[in-house]
């Protein structure tokens, strides 16, 4: 089992998270991720640094740790050619260290860029086509054009291409998206708290030929549990309400957290007070099929968490 950290980027300035990146690498974590959000899940105190600006800065400040985006939808905000070009450029600068996470997007991030919010089926088909465009840009050796159902363009030349393979981590939370992940991604990313995640996501991914790494992501924190529940209850608790998948206003998302109880928050996220708590959680994820767990770290005491990880958690893995 590997363990990584997703900094999320929703609470602090981008400079603060650069300092965290150095400390995460020094602790010995296996991976570092940063959320690609145009808007946060909450308004009061929320931040939304641009992931594609932050990641190269973090790569420059660190030496070897792989750093990925969690996750980019190459659908509306970004044309897939732009994502392909950006990823290739980063890989040329920092060969082999960049990880591309892709997904079908969230309305709160994509709403300003579309006239109407499409169905998941349309977004899924669009993402499959987008990944075809991305891979063609990375591998074609001459001008190429495209004439698909969702993307079409006249011949372009791929002037920047990766010098190493850029691993694609495909986000999925159900059987249909898991199948797409098997067909169009190199690895699978899912949310650890998805009900029946082993049978609904991991199983379909493997059954359809997915042989890559399975990554489980979970919002979590280390330290004073009551204080962390307060923090998550006023921010990420909005993700527990299914109707919020169609919401795009961070003010309304945050207001909706009043409908989520403290006990529901406690049960839905990872709150750890000791290394043993984290290790027990990791054991549970491994039993469900995870190869790599990533904690979206909302800790107040991050230094204490990373020190504990370096001394007790990571050596045990």
Cis peptide before 71 (omega within 30 of 0): yes
Kindly state the helix (H) or strand (E) to which residue 93 belongs, with its residue range: helix 80-93
Pairwise CA distance, residues 212 & 284, whole Å: 20
Can you name the residues that pair with 216 across neighbouring β-strands?
190, 293
Query: What are the E-state strand segments in the chain?
Result: 2-6, 31-35, 67-72, 98-102, 144-147, 152-156, 168-171, 187-191, 214-222, 270-272, 292-297
Q: Taking Cα atoms as reference points, which of 52, 158, 31, 161 lies closest to residue 97?
A: 31
Task: Work out the widest C-alpha separation in the chain, in whole angstroms.
Answer: 58
User: What is the C-alpha separation between 279 and 302, in angstroms, rounded?
Assistant: 17
Please answer whether residues 166 and 187 qualify as being in contact, where contact means their C-beta atoms are separated by less than 8 angstroms. Answer: no
From 25, 106, 110, 247, the catalytic residue: 106
Peptide bond into 82 cis (omega under 30): no
For residue 122, indicate whether it is catalytic. no
> Is residue 37 among the annotated active site residues?
yes
DSSP letter for 299, please.
Answer: -
Please tell me which residue in 37, 184, 187, 292 is annotated as part of the active site.
37
End-to-end CA distance of the chain: give it in Å, rounded. Answer: 6
Helix axes 120-139, 80-93, angle to 10 degrees: 50
**Which residues are tagged catalytic?**
37, 106
């Amino acid at each position: 089992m590997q363990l990584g950290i997703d900094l999320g980027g929703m609470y602090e300035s981008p400079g603060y998270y650069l300092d965290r990146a150095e400390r995460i690498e020094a602790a010995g974590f296996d991976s570092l991720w940063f959320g690609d959000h145009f808007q946060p899940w909450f308004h009061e105190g929320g931040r939304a640094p641009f992931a594609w600006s932050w990641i190269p800065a973090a790569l420059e400040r660190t030496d070897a740790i792989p750093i990925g985006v969690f996750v980019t939808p190459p659908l509306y905000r970004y044309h897939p050619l732009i994502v392909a070009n950006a990823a290739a450029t980063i890989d040329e600068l920092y060969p082999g260290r960049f990880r591309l996470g892709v997904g079908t997007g969230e309305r709160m991030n994509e709403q300003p860029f579309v006239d109407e919010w499409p169905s998941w089926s349309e977004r899924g088909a669009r993402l499959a086509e987008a990944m075809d465009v991305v891979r063609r840009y990375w591998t074609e050796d001459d001008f190429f054009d495209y004439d698909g159902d969702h993307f079409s363009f006249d011949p372009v030349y791929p002037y920047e291409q990766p010098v190493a393979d850029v691993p694609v981590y495909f986000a999925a939370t159900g059987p249909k998206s898991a199948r797409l992940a098997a067909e169009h991604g190199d690895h699978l990313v899912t949310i650890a708290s998805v009900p029946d995640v082993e049978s609904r996501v991991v199983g379909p991914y493997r059954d359809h030929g997915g042989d890559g790494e399975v990554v489980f992501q979970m919002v979590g924190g280390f330290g004073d549990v009551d204080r962390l529940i307060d923090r998550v209850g006023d921010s990420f608790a909005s993700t527990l309400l299914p109707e919020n998948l169609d919401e795009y206003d961070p003010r309304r998302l945050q207001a909706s957290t009043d409908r989520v109880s403290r006990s529901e928050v406690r049960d839905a996220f990872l709150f750890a007070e000791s290394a043993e708590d984290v290790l027990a959680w990791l054991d549970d994820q491994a039993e469900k099929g995870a190869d790599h767990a990533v904690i979206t770290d909302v800790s107040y005491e991050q230094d204490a968490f990373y020190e504990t990880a370096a001394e007790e958690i990571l050596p045990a893995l």
